[in-house]
Amino acid sequence: MDREYDAIVIGAGVIGCCTAFELTKRGFRTLNIDKLPAAGYGSTSNTCAIVRLHYSTPEGVAMARESYFYWLDWGKYVGVTDERGLAKYINTGCLVTKTEKNQYLKNVMASLDELHVTYEELDTEGMREKLKFIDTKQYGPPVTQDDDRFGEPTGGEVSGAIYVPESGFVNDPQLTCHNVQRATEAGGGEFQFNSEVVEVLKEGGRVVGIGLASGDQVHAPVVVNVSGPHSFIINRMAGVEEEMNIKTHALKQEVCHVPAPDGVDYNAVGMLLSDGDIGCYSRPEVGGNILIGSEDPPCDTLEWVEDPDNYDNTFSDQWKTQVLREAQRIKGLPIPEARQGLVDLYDCSDDWIPIYDKSALPGFYMAVGTSGNQFKNAPLAGKVMAELIGKVEDGHDHDSEPVQFHMKYTKRALDIGFFSRLRTLNPDSSYSVLG
């Protein structure tokens, strides 16, 4: 049976849920469509859910700083009771290593200063005071296991670090989505699962809805693509990809779970580590484990995926590479034979900065290229998309005069045009998961 809504959101990951939630607050009758059986079952469920404030661009820091306050009072943001309980933000602090590649964090610190974010500059002695078991020798720039230099110090110690106390992670990203689903439903929004979008419907030069694999059609004058690693497929259905200067692609990523060193209660003393010298990030994980991800150093081969529904989702040699790199920094880190962790896909833009934008097809919007570093920004991303959609649907020409969004906590304007599909590659980006 065909149905009609004010807006259809393709995807029920964390940003898709937050976008629908913010649209319902503006009076839109929304429908989230997802091919999976529940909210947050896609790449959101396997996110590391890290909340950090250091980014390579001022806009990235501004979004993260603003979003941080929503996580601090998550219950206030969702505003409803969830029968499953509420997701929780766990503060750990974050240690970020200075390297030549990140310009010894000069730009990062300038952006943190501008947003009045507290941090400490540390020398290697200060790093060891934060983490007694840390090795401060310089190992970078990172190389692969087949390089004779792999695992060998490259001379002296690292150039220090910064410690950002307001950093941590969310304990259950899937529950986060369920919380926002319940909040959206309380505002009149609906969710439909196990439903695959196979067509973007157009009429009279604008979007009018979607067609499903079941043969049903759902109609709405606004369709928002928040489909994660499938975003490029939906954009091609809509016929909008060719016009975009910045496009998105699916990228395979592996995250390792390993035990902490013997005698170390990592959940009590561990913290986020962002370490460009070894090419890894890590954080405490439940059960006394350490979660390890890659910061995508240039030496590593990135595995781009053409079919997000059909790719090798098993661990590769990259798993051991990441664990061995982390073992250079954390003394006594075990190297298990059994490989545990997660394999999933990122939705990456060409410069690893998300696209929050309209498209060449009137009524069709995108919140894409977000995987890897935008989970933390989901509440703000939802607000940004709702503001953009409201203004453009009222006739505003966003391409020529970008919409400005006022952030209530940091009390500054965010230029949504920074995230335009028409931008050129941003030279200030890390071109990695760091954004």
DSSP-derived secondary structure for 253-293: EEEEEEEPPTT--HHHH--EEEETTTTEEEEEEGGGEEEEE
Which residue ranges does the chain devote to CATH 3.30.9.10? Answer: 94-164+250-344
| pLDDT tens digits, 272-292 | 999 999 999 999 998 889 999
Chain length of the chain: 435
List all residues 6 or more positions away from 171 whose beta carbon is below 8 Å from its beta carbon: 49, 87, 88, 89, 90
Which residue ranges does the chain devote to CATH 3.50.50.60? Answer: 3-85+172-247+351-419
| pLDDT tens digits, 209-225 | 999 999 999 999 999 99
Is residue 243 within 8 A of residue 359, CB to CB? The reply is yes
Summarize the confidence of residues 156-162 as an average pLDDT.
Answer: 97
pLDDT band for 61, please (50, 70, 90 cuts). confident
Class of domain 94-164+250-344: alpha beta
How many angstroms separate the CA atoms of 296 and 252, rounded? 11
Q: Quick one: which H or E segment has residue 64?
A: helix 58-72
Q: Quick one: which H or E segment has residue 209?
A: strand 206-212
pLDDT greater than 70 at residue 19: yes
Whole-Å CA distances, 74 to 45, 83, 98, 384: 18, 15, 32, 18
List all residues 6 or more positions away from 136 whose beta carbon is below 8 Å from its beta carbon: 124, 127, 128, 157, 158
Superfamily of domain 3-85+172-247+351-419: FAD/NAD(P)-binding domain (3.50.50.60)
Is residue 322 within 8 A of residue 292, CB to CB? The reply is yes
Q: Following DSSP, what letter does each residue of 331-400 receive, concatenated? A: TT----SS--EEEEEEEEETTS--EEEE-SSTTEEEEESBTTT-GGGHHHHHHHHHHHHHHHHTT--TTT
pLDDT of residue 59: 85
pLDDT greater than 90 at residue 193: yes
pLDDT band for 1, please (50, 70, 90 cuts). low
